[in-house]
Amino acid sequence: MEEQQTVYEQYRREVYRIAWRIQYRAKVVRKRECSFGGMEPATTSFTSSSDNKIVVRQLINALPSDTGRSIIFKIYIQDKTEQEVARELNMSQQGVNKWKRKMIKELSRMVSS
């Protein structure tokens, strides 16, 4: 009986971990979808959607650093993770995160001025 409870408890913990990971991943995806400048929802017309893409690409191309530009493009346009970008650019995930935050601040500054 006690052995059965132990197995039950292990399964319960594992299901809890899986559910937490799924919720976390959904939160990350939602955040990624909504984080880039509050762009309009997908119900926009084709022309305004195209205009948004053109403006976003112009902003990214205006970034001062080739590395930062590449990282922002891969994360937000190509929808890659920081880890995937780090592997491609042969750098650490933390380095990619620093570049991303730095470039987002720069984009914010460019948009607000």
- Residue 43 half-sphere exposure toward CB, CA atoms < 13 A: 0
pLDDT of residue 49: 66
Model pLDDT for residues 15-64, shown as the tens digit of each residue: 677 777 777 777 777 777 665 555 555 555 656 667 777 777 888 888 88
Are 53 and 67 in contact, with CB atoms under 8 Å apart? Answer: no
Calpha distance 107→92 (Å, rounded): 23
Higher per-residue pLDDT: 110 or 86:
86
Quick one: what percent of the chain has pLDDT higher than 70? 74
Q: Residue 42 corresponds to which amino acid?
A: A
Higher per-residue pLDDT: 99 or 47:
99
Write down the pTM of the prediction.
Answer: 0.56
